[in-house]
Structure 1
Amino acid sequence: MTSIKMADLYNTSSVLVLKSFNLSPEVVFPAFLFATLSYMIILFCNLILILTIVLNKSLHHPMNLILLNLPIHDLIGASAFFPQFIKEVLTDSRAIQHSLCVTQAFFIHIYAGGTVFTLTVMAYDRYIAICCPLKYSTVMTNAHIMRLISAIWGSNLFVIGLLFLLLLRLPRCRSVLSHPYCDNPSLLTLVCADTTINNIYGLVLVAVSQLIANGTILYTYLQILVACFRSRRTDTKSKALQTCATHLLVFLMLECMGLFTIISYRIKNISPELRRFLGMLTLIFPPALNPIVYGLKTKEIREKILHFIKNKILPA
């Protein structure tokens, strides 16, 4: 009798229902084509960037070794989102297994957190290179680079893993998500139990990570600007400012879209369509733009990429 009442109270169905895109029949094929081409471009560009850096020892500089983490996280985020998105568009099926939904959400959060942490460490690297050039080789040693990369992955896996452990301990009594893809806030809406601990941990996680990331970015770039304006070498100043401006633009774009999506869950008056739109942009544009920004705009990497494509992919 008790088990029957518990089954009535909690929905233990393994199938969840995602929010529909409500695509008209004439839009289905263009949407499928756009999603498939976007995913193929993201896969191609990021894999090319990874292979170029890994296979060329001349590119094994501290900045490039840190940069290598960015396309890896982009591939994680894109691969967590696009296959399910393409399936939904093509089959008009909104059903998804709960385990698959949790997996998708976990890797989407790993992508977001890892990208922010990587961009933060890249800013630190640029700060040492521009503001303390004579100390760069002694500070940014291989051992220090490995510690920084380990910190990126270790801290990200720990905080996101704990986030989902707190989620999975709670019983579900709903099966319809308010989002077209899975993330922690949308999965939390399925819970019919006290989510105070989850909410507090989520807010603290966002606050601390944003404080560290934005604080580091703000401090390092202010110091870089001061160093650039004090420099008498016009070419050095111009190159440093161009590199830092590009880096800052990528960081701000990710921060604005990601933070709006997180905050929008806690503000009832915000349009759900706008939230879904910006949430999807966060998973589409950074993974597509990052390899172009950091690959093609960096002369040394660009030359190696063109050489790799010419000799390995399109041999004469």
Structure 2
Amino acid sequence: MENLTYNSPVLQLEALVSSEQNTYPIFLFFLIVYVLIVISNMGIMLLITKERSLHEPMYILFCNLPFNDVLGNSAVVPRLMVDMFRPGSERYISYTDCVTQAFSYHLYACASHTILMVMAFDRYVAICNPLHYTTIMTTGMVTKLTASAWGAALILVGILLSLTIRLSRCRTFIANPFCDNASLFKLSCENTYINNIYGLVYTAVLLGSSMACIALTYFRIAVVCLTCKNKSLNSKALKTCSTHLTVYMIMWLSGCIMTILHRFSGVSDYRKGAALLMHIGPGILNPLIYALQCTEIRHVIVKILHSKNVRP
């Protein structure tokens, strides 16, 4: 439904599934995945908060990641599941709610990269300057790094959405099952050249800076490990860095796929799938990867499970 109502306060969302036969299986899939995301990420945060042995800068900074996963998925997945059972004529969302959802969606994606960048800095200090780690990574430094990660994301996404909400709208149909910036500015009949340029610059700056930061950090870590010849240090560096790098690669690839597919109108189904993968994938994999790869977290989980089994 595309009409010529200007600046309509109500928008219509595209359906996620075209066949009613697939509605219940897909709804069940998203329900299970969302519950797992919330439980696993909240569980990791609670574990780090309660366990004194995990009160280290590395794990405190990591807490930003599961918090962001829960926040980002909660902004999209519940609404998506509710809309599955609404007919197309009733799948409406207010413009304000749509902008809010788009802001949350992009904040989640942007903060994922900035959080991983400050975590990379923490790994760099721990491995390349272990003797000065406690003096550098103080409580104040951890607070500053956390504020920088969220502040940069808020500014970048704030500008992105500000350029979009200034546009008048001549359409009401969102060609996406949820709201994002590209779907919003496509509602306008005005010239969106500035939006496209800033969107590309925003993506290039975010992905480019995070990739450069990670590459430089791991290059310096690799140099230290090769020159140090310390097996214990190399083993610890390999475990912590492989975990961080795996999480980053999942985030980076999903973001690149989403950006590329949004530029082609003929692959809308793949774009929708990639966008949802960007949300669901990291939220499921991040706590799993850290629980299995981080020795300290794994030991705490095993200790808790063992104490519960022994207590009766």
**With structure 2 as the length reference, what TM-score do the two structures score?**
0.91
TM-superposition CA deviations, 1:198-230 (whole Å, max 9, x none): 222222222222222111100011111222223
* 2:34 is equivalent to residue 39 of structure 1: yes
Check 1:264–1:25 CA distance in 2 against 1; reply closer, same or farther (3 A cut): closer
Please name the residue that 2:168 is paired with: 171
Q: Hey, what's the Cα distance between the residues in 2 that align with 1:198 and 1:37?
A: 36
1:156-176 Cα distance to aligned partner (Å, 9 max, x none): 112212221221111111111
Q: Secondary structure at the match of 2:93?
A: strand
> In structure 2, do the counterparts of structure 1 residues 285 and 9 end up closer, same or farther at CA, with 3 Å as the change threshold?
closer
Which sections of structure 1, spanning at least 5 residues, go unmatched?
A: 1-7
Equivalent of residue 298 in structure 2, options 279, 282, 302: 302
Work out the number of aligned pairs and report it: 307
Aligned counterpart in structure 2 of residue 144 of structure 1, from 138, 141, 145? 141
Q: Give the letter for the 2:187 counterpart.
A: L
How far apart are 1:197 and its partner, in Å? 2.5
3-state DSSP class of the match of 2:187?
coil
Following superposition, the deviation at residue 26 of structure 1 comes to 2.7
Q: Distance in 2 between matches of 1:95 and 1:73?
A: 27
1:53 maps to what in 2? 48
Q: Residues 137-189 of structure 1: CA distance to partner in whole angstroms, max 9, x if unpaired? A: 12111111111111011111122122212211111111112212111011111
Corresponding residue of 2:106: 109
- Is 1:26 the counterpart of 2:21 in the alignment? yes
- Does structure 2 conserve the Cα–Cα contact (< 8 Å) formed by 1:228 and 1:241? no
Structure 2 stretches of 5 or more lacking a match?
Answer: none
1:283 and 2:274 are equivalent in the alignment:
no
One of 69, 80, 100 as aligned partner of 1:74:
69
Structure 2 CA distance, aligned partners of 1:32 and 1:157?
31
Distance across 2 between alignment mates of 1:96 and 1:129: 47
Q: 2:246 aligned with 1:273, yes or no?
A: no
Cα gap change, 1:197/1:228 in structure 2, threshold over 3 Å: closer, same or farther? same
- Match of 1:79, as an amino acid? S
For residues 78 and 161 of structure 1, the distance between their equivalents in structure 2, rounded to whole angstroms, comes to: 19
Report deviation, 1:195: 1.9
Q: Structure 1: how far apart are the matches of 2:52 and 2:295?
A: 16
**CA separation in 2, counterparts of 1:231 and 1:239?**
13
TM-score computed with the length of structure 1 as normaliser: 0.90
- Aligned residue type for 2:49: V
Contact 2:76-2:105 at 8 Å conserved across structures = yes
